[in-house]
């Protein structure tokens, strides 16, 4: 029998997995204002498997509670034109733009929805700037759950429309994402509703680990390098968690070199990697999904980047937009700017990498989610024609 518990990533204390347990009650007492979260919990398993565990055996919610929708199981493929041009024959894309709602966030929403089903919970609330909201709205709709979303007024329109299409109740908040986050927590406590706030609900890290488990199964081994676009650090934390689970089971014997890719104007984790200190920044980048002033999983991922010899790389907005255009035009993969950042980070670091290395670029979100940014690197047809002669 395998037993799942929450375990504090700082003090190691264990707790039962319950809907209202979000942080370690002891370590979160040391929370400081404008700093990453203290007392991040992760899911830990105890006991022995009598057979090679399947992916669903490694999740803390039984398979029968998951909605019957295509989440995860995304393809891993070599972008041949790029791999040939740059002479990196083992360069892969893990294409999570092909999830149900078009982003990797579905992996977290999927697990949270299954947990809600198991616990008999009817409503989930989430504060988000975009993809976490549209993801929870879509996955929640398929699971028959009521979804309430707190969005800052500045949220990108396409992502808001997507949430409304799925039938979520959208509450607009005057102020920043942080204000929306606080109000959503107040709401979850007042009305006893499950919170899916990213980085805060431990199941968000746990759900995202499945991307690492899949990559291992698809390659038949762990990659040498993996590029992960990073804002709050939940995806990064999830990727580490997946590979750490595999190591704990004796399936792999080392953790890949993981590279956190951040936008130059939203690089709090990179700064802390270099200085050891988290300083809140006024985040500014074209890549809205990785635009974060105070990365909520900051301490949690910094520890792992250090322990497993990870790296950080920052990319400018114009490098992100160039990478976006190139991925579209050479690989046929249209990604939103945050997702293009993986490729931009790889382009920046490629001279330091061995040519024969197995490298995975994580593509986290679909390009149609942010048309305004995508417009910046294309030219519109000059005028309408009425006959082919007009082309000359």
Ligand X SMILES: *Cc1c(COP(=O)(O)O)cnc(C)c1O
Binding mask 270-289 for ligand X (x = CB under 6 A): -------------------x
Query: Between residue 59 and residue 118, which ones bind ligand X under the rule CB under 6 A?
Result: 103, 105
Alpha-carbon separation of residue 242 from 197, 215, 350 (angstroms): 20, 10, 25
Q: Is 304 in the site for ligand X (CB under 6 A)?
A: no
- Comparing CB distances to ligand X, the nearer of 117 and 300 is 300
Contact flag: residue 290 with ligand X (CB under 6 A): yes
- CA dihedral sign of residues 141, 143, 149, 153: negative
Q: Distance (Å, rounded) from C-alpha 125 to C-alpha 195?
A: 5
Task: Name the residue whose CB lies closest to ligand X.
Answer: 365
Length reported for the chain: 392
Q: Is 229 an interacting residue with respect to ligand X (CB under 6 A)?
A: yes
Give how far Cα 148 sits from Cα of 22, 77, 127, 243, 284, Å. 18, 36, 9, 33, 27
Question: Does residue 374 touch ligand X according to CB under 6 A?
Answer: no
From candidates 152, 202, 233, 310, binder to ligand X by CB under 6 A: 233
Nearer to ligand X, 117 or 361 (CB): 361
Helix 131-143 / helix 157-165 crossing angle, nearest 10 deg:
10
Nearest to 147 by CA among 206, 101, 209, 199: 101
Q: Are the C-beta atoms of residues 119 and 143 closer than 8 Å to each other? A: no
Contact characters 127-166, ligand X, x per CB under 6 A: ----x-----------------------------------
| Residue 230 is a binding residue for ligand X (CB under 6 A) | yes
CA neighbor of 42 nearest in space, from 246, 209, 184:
209
Q: What's the DSSP call for residue 260? A: E
> Is residue 206 at the binding interface for ligand X, with CB under 6 A as the rule?
no
Cα-Cα-Cα-Cα dihedral sign, residues 230, 231, 233, 239: negative
Binding mask 236-275 for ligand X (x = CB under 6 A): x---------------------------------------
How many angstroms separate the CA atoms of 367 and 328, rounded?
9
Show the binding pattern over residues 314-353: x = contacts ligand X (CB under 6 A), - = does not.
Answer: ----------------------x-xx--------------
What does the alpha-carbon distance between residue 60 and residue 115 come to, in Å, rounded to a whole number? 8
Q: Which stretch binds ligand X (CB under 6 A): 6-14, 161-169, 223-231, 243-251?
A: 223-231
77 beta partners: 93
Which residue of 10, 42, 232, 326 would you call a contact of ligand X, by CB under 6 A?
A: 232
For 87-176, where are the alpha helices, taking DSSP H only?
Answer: 106-119, 131-143, 157-165
Q: How far is the CB of 76 from ligand X (least distance, A)?
A: 17
Least CB distance from residue 375 to ligand X, whole Å?
A: 18
298 counts as binding ligand X under rule CB under 6 A? no
Chain residues that interact with ligand X, rule: CB under 6 A: 103, 105, 131, 229-236, 289-290, 336, 338-339, 364-365
């Amino acid at each position: 029998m395998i037993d799942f518990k929450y375990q504090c990533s700082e003090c190691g204390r264990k707790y039962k997995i319950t809907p209202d347990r979000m942080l370690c009650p002891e370590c979160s007492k040391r929370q400081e204002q404008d700093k990453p979260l203290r007392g991040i919990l992760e899911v830990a398993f105890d006991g022995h498997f009598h057979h090679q565990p399947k992916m669903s055996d490694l999740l803390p919610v039984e398979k029968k509670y998951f909605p019957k929708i295509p989440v995860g199981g995304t393809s891993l493929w070599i972008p041949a034109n790029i791999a040939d041009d740059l002479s990196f024959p083992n360069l892969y894309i893990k294409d999570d733009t092909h999830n149900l709602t078009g982003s990797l966030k579905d992996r977290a929403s999927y697990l949270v929805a299954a947990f809600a089903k198991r616990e008999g919970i009817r409503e989930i609330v989430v504060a988000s700037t975009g993809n976490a909201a549209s993801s929870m709205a879509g996955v929640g709709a398929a699971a028959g759950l009521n979804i309430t979303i707190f969005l800052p007024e500045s949220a990108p329109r396409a992502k808001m429309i997507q949430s409304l299409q799925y039938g979520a109740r959208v509450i607009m908040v005057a102020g920043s994402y942080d204000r929306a986050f606080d109000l959503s927590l107040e709401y979850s406590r007042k009305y006893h509703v499950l919170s899916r706030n990213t980085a805060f609900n431990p199941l968000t890290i746990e759900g995202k680990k499945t991307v690492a488990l899949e990559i291992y199964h698809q390659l038949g081994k762990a990659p040498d390098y993996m590029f992960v676009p990073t804002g709050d650090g939940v995806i990064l934390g999830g990727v580490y968690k997946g590979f750490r689970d595999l190591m704990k089971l004796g399936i792999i014997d080392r953790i890949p070199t993981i590279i956190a890719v951040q936008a130059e104007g939203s690089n709090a984790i990179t700064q802390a990697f270099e200085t050891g200190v988290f300083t809140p920044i006024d985040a500014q980048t074209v890549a809205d999904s990785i635009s974060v002033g105070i990365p909520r999983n900051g301490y949690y991922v910094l520890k792992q980047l250090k322990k497993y010899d990870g790296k950080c790389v920052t990319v400018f907005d114009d490098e992100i937009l160039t990478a976006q255009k190139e991925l579209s035009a050479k690989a046929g993969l249209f990604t939103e700017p945050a997702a293009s950042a993986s490729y931009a980070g790889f382009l920046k670091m490629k001279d330091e990498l061995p040519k024969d290395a197995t490298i995975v670029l994580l593509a986290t979100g679909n390009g149609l989610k942010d048309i305004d940014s995508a417009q910046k690197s294309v030219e519109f047809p000059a005028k309408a024609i009425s006959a082919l002669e007009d082309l000359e």
